[in-house]
Homo-oligomer: A and B are copies of this chain.
Amino acid sequence: MGTLKDVARLAGVSTATVSRVVNKSNNVDPETRTRVKKALKRLGYNPSRVARRLRVTRGKTNMLGLIIPDIQNPFFAELARGVEDVGYANNYAVLLCNSDESPQKEKFYLDVMRSEYVDGIIIPPLNETDQEVTTLVREGIPVVCVDRSVLTIPVDTVEVNNYRGAQLAIEFLIAKGHRRIGFVSGRPDISTSRDRLRGYVDTLKAHDIPADPELVRIGDYKQESGRLLTEQILDLSERPTALFVANNLMALGALAAIHNRGLRVPDDISLVGFDDLPWAESINPPLTVIRQPAYEVGRKAAEVLFERFANPDRKPSRISLDPVLVVRRSSG
């Protein structure tokens, strides 16, 4: 791994000239350029991104940070691919970190990113008043919030229209004749959960269906909570004829609970989930879901970030992508 100095020595020029060739500056004699290029190639020169970052401090460090709760959640894996693909197309590498929804881990990784001088950070805030994210924005570091939003400060945001997603699901179920529809919700401090819940409530109301508080249960987006809460709902004296579950993992839990009771989907109870899965088709029965455009969210977020690099003063944009209903067999 030769350095700029090595190349300069080999080519018989100064380091400045080599640097100019590497960075495609125009002010260099064509003949010198070719000589330098040959030396560059012979030594297999690879510029030190570290040294470059230290020198520049502000601007193109060709690295961006992405924090997600858990890469094992297919939604975030897909989102991450969207980010990375755009990054790769722009010669950027992605520092990918899992926060596990833990403030400590989030803080640790954000400090790493700061001290790595990443050009920008893509992150789903832990909640709507996420102090770390707020601070980040105050510091002037380009940030794009994905999936969720913060209310504390204006910031670029790319989300899915969760309200619309819930609306799609409930209207579909109502059209199928259901009037008693259960809902397994997610953590209420996350905006996505509340939006989905609002969509559920409003849509019922719009169709003059009385809301029964017993039919709504608050979970934590994990499989086990989906199972538990679904059991509670199935235990009700007047069992619902359909169930809407607010994310992919909880939907699998719900499925398990229903099967454990010896009930059949959709004969005994219809099921609609949130988030599509590559395996949704193969599940028993194939799962009807509200599909979030996760890849698009990641892609768009990265694009917004690059736009901000190009134009730091643009005012924060808030992009909302629409989910779609994918009808399979679980909804009857």
Contacts and interface: CB of A to CB of B under 8 A. Distances in A.
Interface in A208-243: 223
A46 interface: yes
Interface in A139-160: 139
Interface residues of A, number: 50
A63 B252 CA distance: 36
Contact of A282 (B70, B78, B111, B256): B256
B108 A88 contact: yes
Contact of A256 (B48, B94, B96, B281): B281
A27 interface: no
B72 A81 contact: yes
A280 to B, nearest CB: 9
A71 interface: yes
Given A47-B115, A105-B88, A93 B93 contact: no
Contacts of A78: 72
Contacts of A93: 95, 97, 109, 112, 116
Interface in A33-67: 46-51, 53-54, 63
A285 interface: yes
A265 B144 CA distance: 46
Given A97-B94, A279-B277, A283-B284, A116 B50 contact: yes
A108 B98 CA distance: 24
A286 B282 CA distance: 10
B72 A72 contact: no
Nearest to A49: B115
A50 B98 contact: no
Most buried by B among A48, A50, A109, A278: A50
Interface string A99-128: 000000100110110111100000000000
Contacts of A278: 72, 223, 249, 252
A324 interface: no
A204 interface: no
A276 interface: no
A1 B139 contact: yes
Contact of A50 (B53, B282, B286): B53
Interface in A242-261: 249, 252, 255-256
20 contacts: A46-B115, A48-B115, A49-B116, A50-B50, A50-B115, A50-B116, A63-B116, A70-B81, A71-B71, A71-B77, A72-B77, A72-B81, A72-B278, A93-B95, A223-B278, A252-B279, A252-B282, A279-B279, A282-B283, A284-B284
